Structure 1
Amino acid sequence: MMTEDFNDLLAFVAVAQARSFTGAARQLGISQSALSHRMRSLENRLGLRLLARSTRSVSPTEAGERLLQTLAPRFADIHAELAALRDLREQPAGIIRITTAEHAANTVLWPKLSQVLPKYPDLQVEINIDYGLTDIVAQRFDAGVRLGENLEKDMIAVRISPDQRMAVVATADYFANHSPPQTPQDLTEHDCINLRLPHGGILAWEFERDGRCINAHVQGQWVFNSSSPVLRATLAGAGLGYVPEDVALEHIAVGRLQRVLDEWCPSYAGYHLYYASRRQSSRALAVIVEALRYRP
């Protein structure tokens, strides 16, 4: 197969994964028209339609999906091996791409990695904020961060945080006009600030006490799709917030927030860094893993 065929296959994988000519062209550093020409040329040579195009989206056909499932892992393997070869240099070098939720990025990754990276000037870390359960192999991430209960079985996982808890909080001004809830059922009488999940649903507020578990589906005027605005709206007195305990404690300590339903909020498995086994040989990743590893 000629060199241009390999380039076209790489371009196809980029389009099929991004589901977008615009995003794939940006990733590949070529124009949209050049990318479209490559895809038509590849389809003509194969005699098959690989991509279904519309005015708003692009998606693989049945043949395209089959080709994507074959190519993506192999290109990922090649990418990993090239990265491992680069790591044979004396100093760890290269880019480590990590997908994570915003809370873990702010409270675990940044505090720890910001202390380590200055020691390795040839090492670069790219953090991608994503609340979905990203396939790190297909999306070409070196590692991901998830709570312990959501880990994939075929990945290597390293704990990077202690167990976590959530906290239900609001301002004193809010409670001046609303009686503090005594049980999760009382939340129906309150303005609750919601978090929308990547699949479109709203995060349920999870409670447990004396073996009794409750998933409360609360209502309120505000819905956000990341945690920082939830905390900001809570501090502004917009209602009750359901936020990670560690980001609420500093505000509770100085009186900006008051906590309720504390005895109903259980702990759950903390954050873990996970990665595919073939990335074990990467010196750059090894530096990141050791920097993040949780040590009680």
Structure 2
Amino acid sequence: MSRLGLTQLDAVLAIARRGSFRAAALDLGLSTTALSNLIARLEAEVGVRLFNRTTRSVSLTDAGRTFVEKVGPALDDIHAAMDTVRSQQDVPSGTLRINAFATAARQIMAPLILEFLRRHPQVHVDLVTEGRIVDIVAEGFDLGLRRADLVPSDMIAVPVGPPERHAVVAAPSYFRTRERPRVPPDLLAHDCIRVRLPNGALYRWPFEKDGQAVHIDAEGPITLDEASLARLAVLEGVGIGFFMEADIREDLAAGRLERVLDDWTPPTAPISLYYPGRRNPSAALRTFLDLARTLGRTGAPLRRRGEAG
């Protein structure tokens, strides 16, 4: 094993966890070809095949399963030892992997992530945005970013902004010929931009007023799975859309979109970074969390270096 290193071992565990060379390669920041070559070298070294591979699936062989069972705990100990050493660094360095949903990522990009990189140029941030909620430990992330009410109970949460709101909007041109909805059920007589969730289900628009909760199965001419595409459709007057307020705030201010049912969209839980409890977080993670807590306390963009206090 002297010619092999942690990268090869991490690769085996990533493929076993994800069940796919392509997905594991993305997690590891490698090309699929490079990952295949790493595994081929490892299999040549140990003298057995670790994976059964077809064009459609990847699974562990019996030898591979034994390998993962033996190597996994030892590799956890090695990474824990490395984290202990990194925690003693004076200068933050290395890579921080963050999993987030797109709207939240956009909100913290400038005030937190880019500001952190300006202050700590030796750190690389790997930000992955997706709608599904993942197990950040199992999938190799240092941090997750979700609404506070979606953070797993066994994680430590750090709020990084004020409570958020939804917004129901349409282009002024849409309302020239259509009566504005006054209560959520009125939406059933309108063209709405339908939203498909990562699990394939259609999103039911949630509303609440005076303790009364209502969910509407909005119907309309198009179904989309990405907020930026839904925004384009609404701007073109196709129908009414349901967004996080942060995604269309500038459109509202500029008059490109008009809001309805404002009194039915109360604030929701704030977005929060979350992470597993660690005795020895790396200097990069510790410093990033310190900056995040500052952002959470102020609720306003952090000053850049050189700006007046």
* Residues 72 and 138 in structure 1, CA contact (< 8 A), matched pair in contact too: no
Please name the residue that 1:145 is paired with: 145
Q: How does 1:22-61 map to 2 (within 5 A)?
A: 22-24=22-24, 27=28, 31=34, 34=37, 37=40, 45=48, 51=51, 53-59=53-59
State how far apart, in whole Å, the 2-side matches of 1:210 and 1:201 are.
Answer: 28
TM-score scaled by structure 2? 0.82
Q: Is contact 2:43–2:50 with CA below 8 Å preserved after alignment?
A: no
Bigger drift between 27-36 and 162-171 goes to 27-36
Question: C-alpha separation between the residues in 1 aligned to 2:112 and 2:123?
Answer: 15
Aligned-pair CA distance for 1:158:
0.8
- Shift of the 87–195 alpha-carbon distance from structure 1 to 2, 3 Å rule, reads same
Structure 1 vs Structure 2: percent identity of aligned residues? 37
Deviation at 1:60? Answer: 5.0
Contact 2:169 2:242 in 1 (8 A): yes
Cα separation, 1, equivalents of 2:51 and 2:243: 42
Residue 219 of structure 2 corresponds to 219
Match of 2:297 in 1: 295
Q: Distance in 1 between matches of 2:177 and 2:73?
A: 57
1:248 aligns with 2:255: no
Q: Tell me, in whole angstroms, the C-alpha distance in 1 between the residues paired with 2:249 and 2:7.
A: 52
Shift of 1:251: 1.9
TM-superposition CA deviations, 1:30-57 (whole Å, max 9, x none): 5465356468669975xxx965544223
CA shift, 1:284, in A, is 0.7
Q: What does residue range 23-172 of structure 1 map to in structure 2 within 5 Å? A: 23-24=23-24, 27=28, 31=34, 34=37, 37=40, 45=48, 51=51, 53-59=53-59, 75-76=75-76, 78-172=78-172
- Tell me the secondary structure at the aligned position of residue 165 of structure 2: strand
Contact 2:11-2:39 within 8 A present in 1 as well: no
Q: What displacement does 1:224 show?
A: 2.4
Q: Distance in 2 between the 1:74 and 1:41 partners?
A: 21
3-state SS of paired residue (2:278): helix
Offset at 1:17? 2.5
Q: Residue 263 of structure 2: SS of its match in structure 1?
A: helix
Q: Give, in whole Å, the separation in 2 of the partners of 1:33 and 1:126.
A: 22
CA distances 1:207-258 after superposition (whole Å, capped 9, x unpaired): 0112211111112222222222222222222211111113333322221111
| Aligned residues of 1:43 and 1:50 also touching (Cα < 8 A) | no
Aligned length: 293
Q: d(CA) in 2 for partners of 1:73 and 1:188? A: 54
Contact 1:80/1:278, CA 8 A, preserved across alignment: no
Q: Corresponding residue for 1:281?
A: 281
What is the distance in 2 between the residues matched to 1:82 and 1:96? Answer: 14
Structure 2: runs of 5+ lacking an equivalent = 299-309
Q: Assess if the C-alpha contact under 8 Å between 2:86 and 2:283 holds in 1.
A: no
Partner of 1:188: 188
